[in-house]
Amino acid sequence: MNSNTPEARVAIVTGGSRGIGRAIALALAQQGWNVCISYLSNAAAAEETAALVKQAGARALTVKADVASRADTRRLFAETQKSFGRLDALVNNAGIVGGQQSIFDVQEDHLHSVFDANVLGSFYCAAEAATAMSNQKGGQGGSIVNISSAASRTGGMPLEAHYAASKGAIDSLTLALAKELAPHGIRVNAVRPGLIDTEIHEAHGGQATLTKLAPTVPMGRVGRADEVAQVVAFLCGPLSSYMDGALVDVSGGR
């Protein structure tokens, strides 16, 4: 598909500046989607991703927007609408681990920071996307893909109950919205990555931890961001037209 026509599909990838989000933006661009890349603070990384999207022949927009802020998420969708005039998919990818924290030292601020970004952010963006894409409200239908984690079913790394629980919420949100939004022409699915080589693992030892854990993965290695991205792009597009409410594991058998 030519991404320079008004018919070209448009996706918002939250946290599209780095890691899995960058790979998703690129995979979508390679399939002819125009992409809005949102980020929290790393403008340089977001611009690098935008350059890669443009190299792939698609249009790119970067927007600095904290998903934990209702006002920022409203602005993110308004700016996308202003630039592209349509929306066909949302990838709720932005997320944080929030470091390691024992339940014996649980702290209100810490829990709020993780749940605000991982869970409330996904609610806010889903609400904006539903309004923009609902075929009962003038939209053309579309797709929402929530990035959960294998941690939602394994409990995750030691001392990261906050993260695992936030991703459990994403699984439930996916199942609930799949039902609520199907009559609006919007499919909602989730991808649950396993151990993927990105900077998020700096929260618990970085590359050393990945190297140590790789042999525990049935496939014997950690995954690459592009291996997650291909599945997300499939769920965004028409080839997955009868998938709704699926929780898809991309975890090397873990």
Using an 8 Å Cβ cutoff, are 145 and 91 in contact? yes
Q: Decide whether 65 or 181 has the Cβ nearer to ligand NAP.
A: 65
Using an 8 Å Cβ cutoff, are 159 and 100 in contact? yes
Site string for ligand NAP, 85-124 (x = CB under 6 A): --------xxxx--------------------x---x---
Indicate which single residue of 50, 129, 190, 196 sits in contact with ligand NAP (rule: CB under 6 A): 196
3-state helix, strand, coil in the chain (%, to 5): 50, 15, 35
193 binding ligand NAP? (CB under 6 A): yes
Residues in contact with ligand NAP, total (CB under 6 A)?
30
163 is annotated as an active-site residue = yes
Question: Could you give the C-alpha distances from 77 to 36, 37, 62, 97, 168, in angstroms and in order?
Answer: 9, 11, 12, 25, 26
Region binding ligand NAP by CB under 6 A among candidate stretches 2-10, 27-35, 40-48, 236-244: 40-48
Least distance to ligand NAP, CB of residue 206, Å:
11
| CA atoms of 150 and 99, how far apart (whole Å) | 17
7: phi then psi, degrees, rounded to nearest 5: -80, -10
Indicate which single residue of 9, 10, 14, 178 sits in contact with ligand NAP (rule: CB under 6 A): 14
20 binding ligand NAP? (CB under 6 A): yes
18 binding ligand NAP? (CB under 6 A): yes
Strand partners, 90: 12, 144
Using an 8 Å Cβ cutoff, are 12 and 89 in contact? yes
| CA atoms of 27 and 174, how far apart (whole Å) | 22
Which positions from 135 through 164 interact with ligand NAP, judged by CB under 6 A? 147, 149
Least distance to ligand NAP, CB of residue 102, Å:
20
Q: Decide whether 121 or 139 has the Cβ nearer to ligand NAP.
A: 121
Residue 180 has a CB neighbour count (10 Å cut-off) of 13
- Cβ partners under 8 Å of residue 228, min gap 6: 20, 23, 24, 147, 191, 193, 196, 250
Q: Decide whether 134 or 254 has the Cβ nearer to ligand NAP.
A: 254
Residues taking part in catalysis: 163
List interacting residues with ligand NAP (CB under 6 A): 14-15, 17-21, 38-42, 45, 66-68, 93-96, 117, 121, 147, 149, 193, 195-196, 198-200
